[in-house]
């Protein structure tokens, strides 16, 4: 006869085995990234939380913003921006970091607002962002610069530690030692400037602007008098410059600038309209006309009607259909 003690012991063993088996299938240790672990183009190193806060302060993130962190690591910038009410997205190449970020966002109560995608920042569209954050490298920042300069004027870019080569930042801030940041403790802010280089007409003359990122130089010509402008600067679509003792401030809106000019204690409105923009991309019509000219050259040279190269054939067909 089987003793009741034996039955109890057997049942206990069975329960322990089942419990162990269940725990074994469910337990997965949480992914723990290691400092400086290699990434696709740059290694993982987290921004100290105190600098995360400073970066978002400098960018003046509000609930109206859409913040995108390029190479979002464990998600801390995106999560912190979400906690400030902003919509935020992290683009990260390491899928384990993406999964960890999603988990962290849920834990921090912003699982809905903080979004993360697995992707390559070089192949991602971040043109809708109003704020870009990044902790990458000087070389990557430089590579991204043309794309960044084409973002909407006023878009704020904040980088942990790395510069944008000869595009000087609009602001910098450093976390002092002892404030819970030991390395990579500097934040740099740029505000994408409006593109204003070219000639502008004012009732009192012609304003010629030369632009180097957010810095402006140039002249104001009134009749025979040409005066250089000084202290010229853009902050997004906000423009400031001086001509002699007159200080001009204004807002660039496409091909007009409107604002006020202050001189000798009095203030008056001013307005300028663009006569020529050095940055304007060629229109489709200009591109098509260029192709027509090329095609004509070929025709004249060979006496045959054909496109200058095979790549232009589809466009030549479009031209034929339109004109
Ligand atoms: C220095 S860490 C910064 C992480 C986070 N932004 C922060 O400040 O805490 C850089 C991150 O970029 C990621 N990364 C590297 N190359 C990438 C690429 N081409 N596309 C997307 N993410 C990339 C790395 O995996 C790493 O998580």
Task: Write the DSSP string, 134-201.
Answer: E---HHHHHHHHHHHHTSPTT-EEEEES---TTS--SEEEEPPTTSS--SS-EEEEEEPPP---EEEE
Listing from the earlier edge strand, what are the strands of the sheet with 171-174? 114-118, 87-92, 66-70, 131-134, 156-160, 186-191, 171-174
Surface-to-core class of residue 110, CB atoms within 10 Å of its CB (0-12 exposed, 13-18 middle, 19+ buried): buried
**Same domain for 294 and 217:** no
Can you say how many angstroms the Cα of residue 195 is from the centroid of all Cα atoms in its chain? 16
Residue 136 shares a structural domain with residue 227: no
The CATH number of the domain where 210 resides is what?
2.40.128.20
Does residue 24 belong to any structural domain of this protein? no
Residue 181 belongs to some domain of the structure: yes
Residue 129 belongs to a domain: yes
d(CA 280, CA 255): 11
Q: Quick one: which of 235, 91, 87, 210 has its CA closest to 157?
A: 235
Residue 124: CB within 6 Å of ligand 1? no
Closest ligand 1 atom to 52 CA: 8
Same domain, residue pair 93 and 144: yes
Task: Decide if 15 is inside a domain.
Answer: no
**What was the pLDDT predicted at 251?**
98
Closest CA to 198 of 176, 177, 178, 218: 218
Please state whether beta strands 215-222 and 198-202 pair in parallel, antiparallel, or not at all (unpaired). unpaired
- Which of 91, 92, 186 has most ligand 1 atoms within 8 Å of its beta carbon, as the pocket-test mutant? 92
Whole-prediction pTM value?
A: 0.81
Ligand 1 site-directed mutation target among 39, 70, 79, 175, most atoms within 8 Å of CB:
39
Q: Are residues 94 and 163 in the same domain?
A: yes
Dig out the tokens for 181 from the structure: 């940041």
Strands 131-134 and 171-174: unpaired
Does 184 contact ligand 1 (Cβ within 6 A)? no
Residue where one domain finishes, among candidates 172, 191, 210: 191
Same domain membership, residue 259 and residue 204: yes
* Ligand 1: centre distance to CA 29 (Å): 23
Number of domains into which the chain is organized:
3
- Is residue 140 located within the same domain as residue 155? yes
Q: Are residues 309 and 250 in the same domain?
A: no
Distance (Å, rounded) from C-alpha 313 to C-alpha 306?
8
Q: Is residue 247 part of a domain?
A: yes
Both 227 and 301 in a single domain?
Answer: no
Domain of 266 in residue numbering reads as 198-277
Could you give the CA distance from residue 51 to residue 94 in angstroms, rounded to a whole number? 23
In a domain, 67, yes or no: yes
Q: Is residue 20 part of a domain?
A: no
Considering the domain boundaries, does residue 19 fall inside one?
A: no
Predicted local distance difference test score (pLDDT) of residue 287: 42
Query: What tokens were used for 164?
Result: 């944008």
Pairing of strands 131-134, 66-70: parallel
Same domain? For 215 and 244 the reply is yes
**Distance between Cα 176 and ligand 1 center (Å):** 24
Whether the CB of 73 sits within 6 Å of ligand 1 = yes
Of 144, 172, 191, which residue sits at a domain end? 191
pLDDT tens, position by position, for the chain (323 residues)? 456 665 667 665 654 555 544 444 456 789 999 999 999 999 999 999 999 999 999 999 999 999 999 999 999 999 999 999 999 999 999 999 999 999 999 999 999 999 999 999 999 999 999 999 999 999 999 999 999 999 999 999 999 999 999 999 999 999 987 789 999 999 999 999 999 999 999 998 999 999 999 999 999 999 999 999 999 999 999 999 999 999 999 999 999 999 999 999 999 999 999 997 765 444 444 444 444 433 433 333 333 334 344 444 444 444 434 43
């Amino acid at each position: 006869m089987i003793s009741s003690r034996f039955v109890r012991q057997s049942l206990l063993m069975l329960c322990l085995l089942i419990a162990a088996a269940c725990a074994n299938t469910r337990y997965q240790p949480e992914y723990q990234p290691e400092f400086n672990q290699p990434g696709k183009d740059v290694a993982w190193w987290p921004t100290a939380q105190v600098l995360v806060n400073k970066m978002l302060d400098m960018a003046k993130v509000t609930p109206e913003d859409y913040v995108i962190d390029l190479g979002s690591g464990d998600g801390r910038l995106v999560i912190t921006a979400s906690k400030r009410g902003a919509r935020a997205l992290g683009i990260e190449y390491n899928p384990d970091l993406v999964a960890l970020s999603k988990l962290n966002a849920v834990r921090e109560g912003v699982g809905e607002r903080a979004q993360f995608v697995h992707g390559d920042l070089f192949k991602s569209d971040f043109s809708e962002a109003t704020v870009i954050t990044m902790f990458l490298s000087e070389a990557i920042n430089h590579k991204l610069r043309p794309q960044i300069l084409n973002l909407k004027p006023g878009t704020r870019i904040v980088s942990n530690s790395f510069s944008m080569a000869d595009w000087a930042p609009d602001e910098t801030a450093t976390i002092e030692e002892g404030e819970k940041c030991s390395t990579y403790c500097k934040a740099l802010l740029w505000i994408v400037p409006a593109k204003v280089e070219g000639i502008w007409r004012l009732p009192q003359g012609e304003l010629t602007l030369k632009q180097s990122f957010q810095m402006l130089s140039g002249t104001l010509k009134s009749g025979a008098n040409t005066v250089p402008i000084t202290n010229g600067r853009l902050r997004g679509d906000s423009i400031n410059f001086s001509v002699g003792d007159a200080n001009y401030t204004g807002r660039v809106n496409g091909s007009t600038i409107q604002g006020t000019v202050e001189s000798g204690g009095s203030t008056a409105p001013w307005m300028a309209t663009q006569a020529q923009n050095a940055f304007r991309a060629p229109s489709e019509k200009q591109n098509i006309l260029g192709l027509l000219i090329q095609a004509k050259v070929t025709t004249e040279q060979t006496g045959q009607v054909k496109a200058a190269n095979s790549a232009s054939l589809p466009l030549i067909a479009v031209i034929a259909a339109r004109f």
